[in-house]
Amino acid sequence: MNEQIHCRRFKTNIAGQIVSTTAMPLPVGKRHVGNYPEIRKKLIAALGCLALFFQFGFSAPTLNAQSPSGVVQAYRDYPANYNPAGPIQQIQLPARAQYYEYLPRRRGWDDRRESPLDRFLKQSFRQTYGRVEYLNWSYSDPGSGFIGSSGKKLRDGEGFSGPAFIDGARLTDASLTALQLIALKNAADGKVLIQTWEANQRELVDADADGAFYDVIDVINNTTGAAGADGINDDDNDLDIFPRLTNAEKELMLTGQLNNSILFSTGDVLGSATGPSQVAVLAVGQLAPLNAFQLDNNNGFRGVFGIDLTFGAIETDFFVMNKSRSSNQFVPIPSGLLGTPGAGAGGGTDPLVIPVTVNGAIAPDIFDDSGNLVTDSNNYYLIYNESYIVNYETESWGFSQSMFWTLRERPGRFRLSSSLGFRYFDFQEQMLQRGSFSNDPAVADFFYNSELGNDLTSTIDSVTKNHVYGPTAGIRARVGDEKFSFGLDSKVLFGLNTHEARVSVDDLLFVGDDNFTQDKGTEFSPGFEMVADARVKLTDHVTLTAGYNFLWFGDVTRPADNIQYDITAARVPNPPPLGGPDYTINNNVILNKKKTSVSLSGLSVGVLVDW
């Protein structure tokens, strides 16, 4: 018998609930074999699982590994209403999808973790070293010889040897003459004879019989010596010392009527002890030596900072010296100034003199009419008969930057390096002279022209500034081990010197006799530096150093060399009837810049610290 077999179709919603059923007959002739109730149970379970998948799959938030735009980043703070220290809590998530990114906490000042910059700085610090040193250096002397212009027989004792210039017959005490000559020869260091002279014997004759041989007349041609007027006074008071002697005062000196202790030279016009002479020796003058300035043992400081590199090192050093001050002061004899030559050798100091030129020329040798030499040791002088002091100041500082390349090294034995760098050297000096002349009879035994009052104080100030700079190249060698070593560091400088020099003069010959000159420029200036030192290691990071230092700079300018000591003079054609002054004079003490060299040398002691 054919049996009609039906099956049912179930229709469910999205939640998996059965909405309706439909009976579906199976085709006739086909039989379904199996356990129908069991199959139905399995089918229902499968449909339920499928419903759960759709329910939670479409309602849960979407998770994505990549954050789209609009990401909310949270630093340090957690989402609102969330307590990380409490139990697990329900969080009300926003209606739309939110993305949170939690970053590491920022570093604080007490965070000990090292960054790449920390490691770089720490390693650089471990490779640095520093050195501080005390310096005791000396400057080279500012010059040789004496302050003033060139002259005749200014060397020690030259003016006290032949030809004979002292006429012993004019002295009343022959024994005194012998003592004087011995004193002059034994105390001739930096001393000269102060002389006044008349070059033309004809001018020592009283032509108009007025009792004075400096006559204001014009009856002779002063060029040829023949008779006839030429519009110029025949007798002039030759220039010799400054401030100048008046005509009347000079006559007394040349005739021996002023002071018995004044000595005369040979060349007596009248051939007698009472006649006028062409030369009178007034006194012994003392020169101011340039090498008397004490520019030694000056204190200073030097600092060095460097860093070791794989190929060598980079090093910076600087030094500064205390201002060096030195002075020479001369105090003449307060009375009897123009007394016996060499009187200062017995315990006093004779007047200080500065040699000068007149119109660029030194004083002429004096001859008589027969051609005999009267004196060849006469000079033009500035005389300071009351006081004279010269102050000399020097100061310097500098720095250098060098890079060293290791050429050859054997650890614990030696190291040889080359260097290239830059050096700057600042060098400044001043020489200030201040002298006083007194026309007071209590101080001086003779008087000068009326252009002066009783006293005159004059100054000569010379200042120089040198700025030397340029590239350097050198060699450094060190021999020894870590505990004890010797080193030699030498460099040459190919530099320029930007310099400034000036000379100012106040009241040199009379009040208002002033002058000022200056010069600036840039010139090539070579240099050399050498340091030889020894080092002893005291601890792991401290080393004691001691060495000798030498620095030399060429083509610099210094104040003592730059002064031109000169006076301009013009003869007055028709002087006043009483005679004198026969010349108008002005100082021509100006800057005459010269190039020289300077050196600094001395010891250094310090401490080297390396990390």
Q: What is the 3-state secondary structure (H, E, C) of 90-159?
A: CCCCCCCCCCEEECCCCCCCCCCCCCHHHHHHHHHHHCEEEEEEEEEEEECCCCCCECCCCCCCCCCCHH
User: Which among 316, 294, 322 is positioned nearest to 135, based on CA atoms?
Assistant: 322
- pLDDT band at residue 6 using 50, 70 and 90 as cut-offs: low
> Residue 25: what residue type?
P
- Could you identify the residue written with the tokens 């870590």? 482
* Residue-level pLDDT at 269: 46
* Residue-level pLDDT at 338: 37
Q: Is the pLDDT of residue 13 over 60?
A: no
Q: How far apart are CA 516 and CA 518, in angstroms?
A: 7
Which long-range contacts does 71-74 make (Cβ < 8 Å, 24+ apart)? 71/99, 71/100, 71/101, 72/98, 72/99, 72/100, 73/100, 73/101, 73/103, 74/100, 74/101, 74/102
How far is C-alpha 240 from the chain's CA centre?
A: 41
Terminal-to-terminal C-alpha distance of the chain: 113
Identify the top-confidence range among 65-74, 109-118, 430-439, 586-595: 586-595
Q: E strands, 373-514, where?
A: 373-375, 380-384, 387-410, 414-438, 455-480, 484-506
What is the arithmetic mean of pLDDT over 84-103?
63
* Residue-level pLDDT at 102: 64
Q: Is the pLDDT of residue 408 over 90?
A: yes
- pLDDT band at residue 310 using 50, 70 and 90 as cut-offs: confident
> What confidence tens digit (pLDDT) does each residue in 264-275 have?
555 444 445 556
User: Which among 195, 182, 186 is positioned nearest to 153, based on CA atoms?
Assistant: 195
Q: How far apart are CA 76 and CA 106, in angstroms?
A: 9
Q: How far apart are CA 311 and CA 156, in angstroms?
A: 59
User: Which among 205, 160, 203, 204 is positioned nearest to 184, based on CA atoms?
Assistant: 160
With pLDDT > 90 as the criterion, what percentage of the chain qualifies?
38
> What confidence tens digit (pLDDT) does each residue in 518-574 have?
999 999 999 999 999 999 999 989 999 999 999 999 999 999 999 999 999 988 877
Preceding peptide of 577 cis, ω within 30°: no
Domain spans of the chain, in order of start: 6-49, 130-145+288-610
Identify the top-confidence range among 109-118, 357-366, 370-379: 357-366
Structural contact between residues 139 and 551, judged by C-beta atoms closer than 8 angstroms: no
Distances in Å between the Cα of 468 and the Cα atoms of 354, 398, 501 are: 32, 9, 14
Radius of gyration over alpha carbons of the chain, in Å?
Answer: 52
Higher pLDDT, 258 or 48: 48
Q: How far apart are CA 468 and CA 426, in angstroms?
A: 6
Whether domain 130-145+288-610 has CATH 3.40.50: no
Distances in Å between the Cα of 258 and the Cα atoms of 175, 178, 263, 447 are: 21, 22, 11, 11
Q: What is the pTM of this model?
A: 0.74
Beta bridge partners of 525: 495
* Residue-level pLDDT at 411: 87
Q: How far apart are CA 526 and CA 505, in angstroms?
A: 32
> What confidence tens digit (pLDDT) does each residue in 186-238 have?
555 677 878 888 888 878 877 777 777 877 777 777 777 777 777 777 778 88
CA dihedral 34, 37, 40, 46 (to 10 degrees): -100
What would the two tokens of residue 178 be? 């012998």
